[in-house]
Amino acid sequence: MSGQTNILNLPEEELVHPGNRACSGCGLGIAYRIGLKALGKDTILVVPPSCLTVLQGLYPIAATKLPCVNVTFASTAAAATGVLAALRAQKRTTTTVSAWAGDGGTSDIGIQALSGACERGENFIFVCYDNEAYMNTGVQRSGTTPQGVVTTTTPIFGKPQQKKDVPSIIAAHGINYVATTSAAYPLDLYDKIKKAKTISGLKYIHIHTPCPAGWGFDPRYTIKIGKLAVETGLYDLYEIEYSKFRLTGESKKNLQKKLVPVNEYFKTQSRFRKLSESQISDIQKQVDEKRKRYLTTIDS
């Protein structure tokens, strides 16, 4: 999968204008730019309230060259279904429809519409960019915020619950393609969205997008931190294609080498400052257990 595309054969045409409203070092900015290259010009976007709506800005000075429908928080997948129906009525069967929602708009507020669309097998690509909190409104915890993270709604002890495993929830619907990727691995991201375009039914892509403003790190470290999440085994790159699971890219390579200790990742971001020694060692144990499961169940 990854490795097919390199920096020299990415399409040169930019579908995101330079100069947008994202914070400097925003992982979403990278994911969006590369993701739109993979989707191509004949695409209609569907976007709920999020940092992405801010990044895109408003007509006539929008940062994207693609048509985009801004919809209510809970309705992203339902609205994408409606756009598909309108295209069918116009006999436009080659246009790609792609919803782009944040983790709040996917794992919490939009999950019912997404579940319905998965179950019906609607033919669009749902992208969740996961900056692990409701960032646009000032860093509130979401279902995908990791355990122990300090947000404005978990200010004292950090979030007590674990990160919700949204890709597994979506995969349980039996859709044809689920993939996880990261803004720190833009070519992996590009290849997975490209592949999604060739598969029928609903395709779900989960993108880890480091967020300097909400995670508490210097914007120059976005890629380094995104990579550390994978190198520690805290975030895995994989595909579930027609129900077959396989690790991809750096996560596949991880099986052959020693993982970086999780604390190396935690140390880089102020949002983890409330994690205790025992919480860190519990999380390390969970990652080690997962790696053991991979080693015994995956034929790499």
Task: Check binding of 151 to Mg ion (CB under 5 A).
Answer: no
> In the complex, what is the shortest distance from the CB of residue 48 to ligand TPP, in angstroms, rounded to a whole number?
7
Strand order in the sheet with 203-208: 68-70, 43-47, 96-102, 125-130, 203-208, 177-182, 238-241, 244-247
Question: 27 with 222: CB under 8 angstroms?
Answer: yes
Residues from 214 through 253 that contact ligand SF4 (CB under 6 A): 214
Return the number of the residue (75 or 123) whose C-beta is nearest ligand TPP. Answer: 75
Q: How far apart are CA 164 and CA 146, in angstroms?
A: 8
Task: Check binding of 149 to ligand SF4 (CB under 6 A).
Answer: no
Task: Check binding of 131 to Mg ion (CB under 5 A).
Answer: yes
Amino acid at 164: K
- Which is it for strands 125-130 and 203-208: parallel, antiparallel or unpaired? parallel
Residues from 138 through 167 that contact ligand TPP (CB under 6 A): 142
- Selected from 56, 136, 182, 254, the binder of ligand TPP by CB under 6 A is 136
Question: 93 with 171: CB under 8 angstroms?
Answer: no
> In the complex, what is the shortest distance from the CB of residue 135 to Mg ion, in angstroms, rounded to a whole number?
5
CB under 5 to 8 A by kind: which of ligand SF4, Mg ion, ligand TPP, none does 49 bind? ligand TPP
Return the number of the residue (55 or 178) whose C-beta is nearest ligand TPP. Answer: 55
Task: Check binding of 56 to ligand TPP (CB under 6 A).
Answer: no
Handedness of CA 50, 55, 56, 59 (dihedral sign): positive
Contacts of 136 (CB under 8 A, 6+ apart): 49, 50, 51, 53, 54, 102
- Selected from 102, 158, 167, 186, the binder of Mg ion by CB under 5 A is 102
Sole window of 21-29, 88-96, 223-231, 287-295 interacting with ligand SF4 (rule: CB under 6 A): 21-29
> In the complex, what is the shortest distance from the CB of residue 26 to ligand SF4, in angstroms, rounded to a whole number?
3
Sole window of 38-46, 103-111, 188-196, 218-226 interacting with Mg ion (rule: CB under 5 A): 103-111
Task: Check binding of 103 to Mg ion (CB under 5 A).
Answer: yes
CB under 5 to 8 A by kind: which of ligand SF4, Mg ion, ligand TPP, none does 105 bind? ligand TPP
Q: Which two tokens stand for residue 193?
A: 């969205």
Please name which of 135, 106, 130 lies closest in space to residue 118, comparing C-alpha atoms. Answer: 106
- Which is it for strands 96-102 and 125-130: parallel, antiparallel or unpaired? parallel
How far CA 120 is from CA of 89, 113, 151, 245, in Å, comes to 18, 11, 36, 22
Number of chain residues interacting with ligand SF4 (CB under 6 A): 11
Q: How far apart are CA 92 and CA 69, in angstroms?
A: 17
Sole window of 59-67, 101-109, 181-189, 245-253 interacting with ligand TPP (rule: CB under 6 A): 101-109
Question: 22 with 219: CB under 8 angstroms?
Answer: no
Q: How far apart are CA 184 and CA 163, in angstroms?
A: 20
- Selected from 46, 51, 193, 230, the binder of ligand SF4 by CB under 6 A is 51
- Selected from 1, 16, 28, 247, the binder of ligand SF4 by CB under 6 A is 28
Chain residues in the site for ligand TPP (CB under 6 A): 49-52, 73, 101-105, 131, 134-137, 142
Chain residues in the site for ligand SF4 (CB under 6 A): 22-23, 26, 28, 51, 131, 135, 211-214
